[in-house]
Amino acid sequence: MKCLLRTTTALVSVAVTADPTAAAEPIRLAVGGFFREAYMVNFDDDGEGELGNERNTDGLFNDAEIFFMGMTTLDNGLTVGARVELEGEDNAGDQIDEAWIHFMGGFGEVRIGSTDEALVGACILPPGGTDNFSAFSPNQWAANVSPFAPGFPALTSNAVCIGVDDREDAQKIVYMTPVFGGFQLRLSYTPNGGDERHGDGVGAHLGMPTNSDAESRHNVSVYGTYELVRETWGLTAGLGASFEGHVEQQPGDDQREQTFYQGGLNFTFGAFSIGGVFEYYDNLLSFKGGDDADGWVAGGGLAYDFDDFILGAQYSHQSTEVDRAGGGNDDFTMDRALVTAIYPLGPGIDLDAEIAYTWIDTDPESADGVDDYQSLEIGLGTAITF
């Protein structure tokens, strides 16, 4: 780890001290982004005490961002740039998604700022999903799976690209190697897992950020990908892990450090693609002397490109087991299956649709409207990239 930090520091030092007069031209700003909109209908149990109680049957949902990007290549070959992502709507007071600078050259790429950790930024997902819909933590999910029954620390969606940082875009350093024979390694270091914005203490400040109870720090993430392309077939593989270095222990229950492991493998044969993914959550929730929970999510997907449209299907399964401090186990499972379709209207403009079914089971049976929960959802959306 110390070697990694020394190497990263050296790379950053070279980039920062580069003669600004060596730039072929100043950094110029470019604008990009996306807009995703979906209309969804959900049918589930809506009686008193059920998860669908007092919930709408249908709704309109959107997600949009505008990217401000700029870069330039110096005469010495070093590329320097920056990126700021502005949310298209107020996201609980967090108007900026990611904001980072980067340095690229023969050594690879270094990013510094508010961005995804290595596992999240490079993780492999199976085919069959769309920009709006998926069986793995999709952009839009109509099933009323949250809140869960009290005492079940399960994932609110069947996510398979989650790292240990308290805030996904906490301030960090990310290093990506060059691609060697189809292989690339990504590494990241997060000093404070919950510190992303100026209000968290990582803007202009005096002193170091304050660590709150159960906040992680000194987190490390690593993820490797491999891509092989042949004339009629190809494969993409990924494997990595995310580690909490320490969890702040203040008055109250002490929480153990989390470690998450993820892997995925996809194959393409002409117009057909198929693949699978898995993520294991060690200490999803774990208190010293208290309850302990581990979980995992696995599944797969396939897709076929008919030229005029793409038809896909995915399935995911989540299993979380809670070991109670007073003895006994509680089990939670959530399954999700769906079929999707994508129809390209033009460059960067797609229509997408889904029919999805989600079902939940708890053992022992829950009296909070979760056990044997079932949901049928239908969605129609559009995704615009600019």
Question: Is 277 within 8 Å of 299 (Cβ atoms)?
Answer: yes
Residue 385: pLDDT band with limits 50, 70, 90: very high
- What residue type is assigned to position 215 of the chain? E
Let me know if residue 352 belongs to a domain.
Answer: yes
DSSP 235-268: EEEEEEEEE--EE---SSPPBPPPEEEEEEEEEE
Let me know if residue 28 belongs to a domain.
Answer: no
Let me know if residue 53 belongs to a domain.
Answer: yes
Let me know if residue 164 belongs to a domain.
Answer: yes
Domain total in the chain: 1
Let me know if residue 104 belongs to a domain.
Answer: yes
Q: State percent of the chain over pLDDT 70.
A: 88
In order of 41, 122, 133, 140, 380, the CA distances from 61 in angstroms are 11, 26, 12, 7, 11
Let me know if residue 345 belongs to a domain.
Answer: yes
Residue 273's H or E segment, with its range, is: strand 272-286
Quickly count: other Cβ atoms within 10 Å of residue 353's Cβ.
Answer: 20
What is the chain's Cα-based Rg? 22
34 strand-pairing partners = 65, 385
pLDDT at 148: 56
Q: Is the pLDDT of residue 212 over 90?
A: no
Q: Retrieve residue 240's tokens.
A: 């990595």
Q: Is the pLDDT of residue 355 over 60?
A: yes
Mean pLDDT of the region 194-202: 84
Q: Is the pLDDT of residue 329 over 70?
A: yes
> What sign does the dihedral 361-362-367-370 (CA atoms) show?
negative
Q: Is the pLDDT of residue 152 over 70?
A: no
> What sign does the dihedral 276-111-66-42 (CA atoms) show?
positive
6-13, long-range: CB < 8 A, 24+ apart:
7/175, 8/110, 8/173, 8/175, 8/189, 11/103, 11/107, 11/110, 11/175, 12/103, 12/110, 12/112, 12/173
Let me know if residue 210 belongs to a domain.
Answer: no
The torsion angles phi and psi of 6, rounded to 5 degrees, stand at: -65, -40
Supply the range of the domain harboring residue 325: 2-14+34-199+217-385
Q: Is the pLDDT of residue 300 over 60?
A: yes
Q: State the CATH number of the domain containing residue 226.
A: 2.40.160.10
Q: Tens of pLDDT along 16-29? A: 444 544 446 788 88
Let me know if residue 174 belongs to a domain.
Answer: yes
The region of weakest confidence among 62-66, 247-251, 300-304, 366-370 is 366-370
Residue 286 burial (10 A CB sphere; 0-12, 13-18, 19+): buried
